[in-house]
Amino acid sequence: MWDWFSLEWFTLAKLRAFSWAHPYYLYGILAIPVAFWLRNVFHAGAYQRLGVTFVDKDAPRSWSVFLRYLFPSAGFLGLSCLLVALARPQLINTVTERDAEVIDIILALDISDSMLEKDLLPNRLASAKKVAKSFIEGRIQDRVGLVVFAGEAVTLCPLTNDYELIYSFLDEVDHRMINVAGTAVGSALAVCTNRLRESLAKSKVVILLSDGENTAGNLDPSTAANLAKAFGIRVYTIAVGRPFVTRTVRDSVGTKVVQAVADEGTLKSISASTNGQFYRATDNTTLTQVFRQIDQLERVNVKNRRYQEVKDYYRIYLNWAITFFLTMMLLKVTFIANVLED
């Protein structure tokens, strides 16, 4: 209740912190001394003054000399505080709320032994983890989940918007997490679909990152893709690594090393049937660009709503103005504003 009764309200730092609704009233403070001076000029001869003095002119100034200035000082301060109150000092806090429709995204990451190839530095898996982190950092309110797969698929992290939790799980991803050898693309997509099928998000997306071939699992990738499509899930597939793979072949003549084209058909078929897109990432830069393209494709419009919380402080200075005016009335009925003025 008595928070207003403090000299802090008159400090320069406090006055600078305010926003003023009607700042032109502040210029009136400069006119107050002029008004006092004009009053003295026009009314100097209007009052009969006593020929009595309380102090000798040649003597040092006494307390009575200073007391005569209390009445006009109180008037000046009272009018000044009234003008400050009329200027409406305010503190304005601007609050911005970001409103975006949520997208649910599952990252399906191949952790089979072939992901340790070093055509992406330091290897395919490490590069994919790094780029996936950057992709997650650019999301706003979206829920992200993580599925890893090799010969079988497991959910490492369910859908969440706790991105720090996702980062910690990505840091823990290792090719030794699943002991079953192979690449079960169909099983991975089925696990992702199971996680997204009850989602109410505007858009449901799977980003499936693998080195290409489906060599394990009990579910055919095309069947898994049809299930994803039935639940309105769009799948973006990324084939990681060189489009040519080196293999050792043994025949009746002997052993020889041959190059074969990696099987991209499975990943292309999945993306095509679910209205997604297929990408080939042969180096770190390309992989980063692929995630940027997906980020742009799966970006919703963000609406910024700005609110201003306005708190008025005119009552503080109005209370001070009343205080100074009451002080003037008190001085008016005492010798300070009457005898000393004469």
Residue ranges of domains in the chain, CATH in brackets: 7-94+308-332 (no CATH), 102-299 (3.40.50.410)
**DSSP symbols for 224-268:** HHHHHHHTTEEEEEEEES-SEEEEEEE-SS-EEEEEEE---HHHH
Residue type, 278: F
Burial of 291 (0-12, 13-18, 19+ CB in 10 A): buried
- CA–CA dist 210, 274 (Å, integer): 17
Q: Using one digit for the tens of pLDDT, what is the confidence trace for 186-218? A: 999 999 999 999 998 889 999 999 986 788 888
In the prediction, which pLDDT does 125 show?
93
The tokens of 185 are what?
A: 């693309």
- Pairing between strand 278-281 and 233-240? parallel
| Residues in the chain, pLDDT under 70 | 1, 43-66, 98-100, 212, 244-263, 300-304, 335-342
In the prediction, which pLDDT does 68 show?
73
Q: Give me the numbers of helices (H) and strands (E) for the chain, helices first please.
A: 11, 11
**DSSP symbols for 80-98:** HHHHHHHT-EEEEEEEEEE
In the prediction, which pLDDT does 146 show?
97
Q: Which of 201, 146, 148, 221 is CA-nearest to residue 179? A: 148
Q: Using one digit for the tens of pLDDT, what is the confidence trace for 228-269? A: 999 999 999 999 887 765 544 455 555 554 444 456 888 999
Residues in the chain: 342
The tokens of 153 are what?
A: 């698929």
pTM: 0.61
Burial of 170 (0-12, 13-18, 19+ CB in 10 A): buried
Q: Provide the b/e sequence for 91-113 (b: ≥16 CB within 10 Å).
A: eeeeeeeeebebbbbbbbbbbbe
Q: Which of 108, 313, 60 is CA-nearest to residue 224? A: 108
Q: Which of 307, 321, 328 is CA-nearest to residue 89? A: 321
